[in-house]
Structure 1
Amino acid sequence: MIDDIVDKRSIKLFIILGGFFVANALIAEFIGVKIFSLERSLGMEPLSLNLLGVDNLAFNLTAGVLLWPVVFVLTDIINEYYGQRGVRLLSYLAVALILYAFVMFYVGIHLTPADFWPQSHIDPSLPETSQQAIRDKVSDYDYAYKLVFGQGLWIIIGSLVAFLIGQLIDVAVFHRVKQATGERFIWLRATGSTLVSQFIDSFVVLFIAFYLGADWGLSLVLAIGVVNYIYKFTMALVLTPVIYGAHALIEGYLGAELAADMKRRAAA
């Protein structure tokens, strides 16, 4: 039985793509707690944008945005060869595993730490000045652990709802475009569906997490959503050649006949 699964290229490919899809979704959720400056990371001074009456906006983004474009590229590739059912299965699985992970994080941060552990990051063999420098940065390892892994409930809800809605919209737009254009214009159905779904995703997560969960003003939420979408829009365009490269690799791996049959069944 296992040999049949491993030897069948379509099944093996689904497992590989699905594994990367779920892994990227999980990692994006976990590292998303960090907010970074895109401009400073690129060695530039932060921009000072004015949108919807909100001043001094810059590209301060969650670290998760590094991986979400990859998730949506994988969505389009899976959509191409395994159809809506394949994407929905992996999307529901990713959400379930993310929820499971956050439950485990909740349990983990409420465990009583061993007496030595909160200071275990400080090497006692170092000079006292070096030890103090470490304490000035992180005085309590257990507290830092809680801060990093203990994301707010509204942020978790907003992120998961936005992800699931974005995935379902991506699937629907992708197939509408493919029905209209056939096998032509891979870039239009892949990049176009990503641009639409990421637009919805950008505002849903902020609306739930910060408008409902943190009492931010609507204009601030919308302004930050626009900034986030500008980044996602740019990345979707930049990654378009990657989609063509991935298609070429998959077609070579599956063979023209099997690939054509899978795409036909996926479209149906």
Structure 2
Amino acid sequence: MDSNSGPAATTANALAGTHFRYFDFVMAAFVAILLLSNVIGAGKVASVGGFMFGAGILFFPLSYVIGDVLTEVYGYARARRCIWAGFGALSFMALMSWVVVSLPPAKGWDGQSAYEAVFGQVPRIVFASIVAFWAGEFVNSFVLARMKVMTAGRMLWARTIGSTIFGQGVDSLIFYPLAFLGVWETHQVFVVLATNWALKVGWEAALTPVTYVAVGWLKRREGVDVFDEGTEFTPFRTRV
């Protein structure tokens, strides 16, 4: 694509099989943030000013920001490919964590308890996290792509925030009941669900200027403005 001219509006189907110079880097960033926010952030409960929260909430919403960028710049089909890459990476991370923690420690090595504390995972929570991510990201991408066509590419802020409201809503509605219903008191599950959903949406809104900069820069460099007109929105494929 010619990066010296402005982005040209085109349909996603017209770009099937096209190579974009920055797509691979954006996909790598998406998967990296997804994995690191689950590995490093998920296991710690932080407290700032007396307010307690899971540390992962600071960075996990960035995967939704990048998901918005992917759909806005490259279209639903390429965002779908990244979601499946993230799903596979999360699944492998869960398997690897289970295998590594389960291996008997060598005599004299005293790091097993630390490994269990950091990487030991409750299967129910892992399953809930992966399913919620998959469903939430696809809803997020679908809503943004459809809103882009409906608004003729205007009001990016409305698309990014609106898609996050629905995507994070589905994510939270799946994850918290699936992971904690019957373990926590019912009202606590839904209070935490609503609180974390609001925080994630608020974080997305706060990052809107960053999204504008990233989207504008990538569209100029790639030379296209992709609209998902006539796109097949099934999540069950990876071909672009």
Sort the TM-score into its range (normalised by shorter chain).
0.7 to 0.9
Counterpart in 2 of 1:154?
124
In terms of Rg, which structure is larger? Answer: 1
Q: Which amino acid aligns with 2:190?
A: L
Taking structure 2 as the reference length, the TM-score comes to 0.82
Counterpart in 2 of 1:21?
30
Q: Which structure features the higher share of helix residues?
A: 1
Structure 1 residue 245 displacement after superposition: 0.8
CA contact under 8 A between 1:170 and 1:193: conserved in structure 2?
yes
166-175 vs 61-70, greater mean Cα deviation: 61-70
With over 3 angstroms needed to count, the CA separation of the structure-2 counterparts of 1:234 and 1:158, relative to structure 1, is same
Structure 1 residue 176 displacement after superposition: 2.2
Aligned residues: CA RMSD: 1.8
Structure 1 residue 10 displacement after superposition: 4.7
Q: Which amino acid aligns with 2:95?
A: V
Counterpart in 2 of 1:112?
104
153, 177, 190: which one aligns with 1:183:
153
Q: Which amino acid aligns with 1:245?
A: V
Between the aligned partners of 1:29 and 1:150, the Cα distance in structure 2 is 12
- The correspondence of residues 120-159 of structure 1 with structure 2, limited to 5 A, is 141-159=111-129
Between the aligned partners of 2:26 and 2:68, the Cα distance in structure 1 is 11
9-18 vs 196-205, greater mean Cα deviation: 9-18
Structure 1 residue 147 displacement after superposition: 2.0
Between the aligned partners of 2:24 and 2:201, the Cα distance in structure 1 is 29
Between the aligned partners of 1:178 and 1:253, the Cα distance in structure 2 is 20
Counterpart in 2 of 1:259?
224
Between the aligned partners of 1:244 and 1:194, the Cα distance in structure 2 is 15
Unaligned runs of 5+ in 2: 1-17, 231-240
Unaligned runs of 5+ in 1: 1-8, 47-58, 119-140
Note if 1:61 corresponds to 2:71. no
**Matched residues, number:** 212
- The correspondence of residues 81-92 of structure 1 with structure 2, limited to 5 A, is 81-92=73-84
Between the aligned partners of 1:184 and 1:246, the Cα distance in structure 2 is 16
Instruction: Determine which structure has greater relative contact order: mean sequence separation of CA pairs < 8 Å that are 6+ residues apart, divided by chain length.
Output: 2
Q: Which amino acid aligns with 1:191?
A: I
Counterpart in 1 of 2:206?
238
CA deviation vs aligned residue, 1:20-49 (integer Å, no higher than 9, x gap)? 001111112212121212xx2xxx2x2xxx
Counterpart in 1 of 2:6?
none
Between the aligned partners of 2:29 and 2:190, the Cα distance in structure 1 is 31
Counterpart in 1 of 2:238?
none
SS in 1 for 2:224: helix
SS in 2 for 1:36: strand
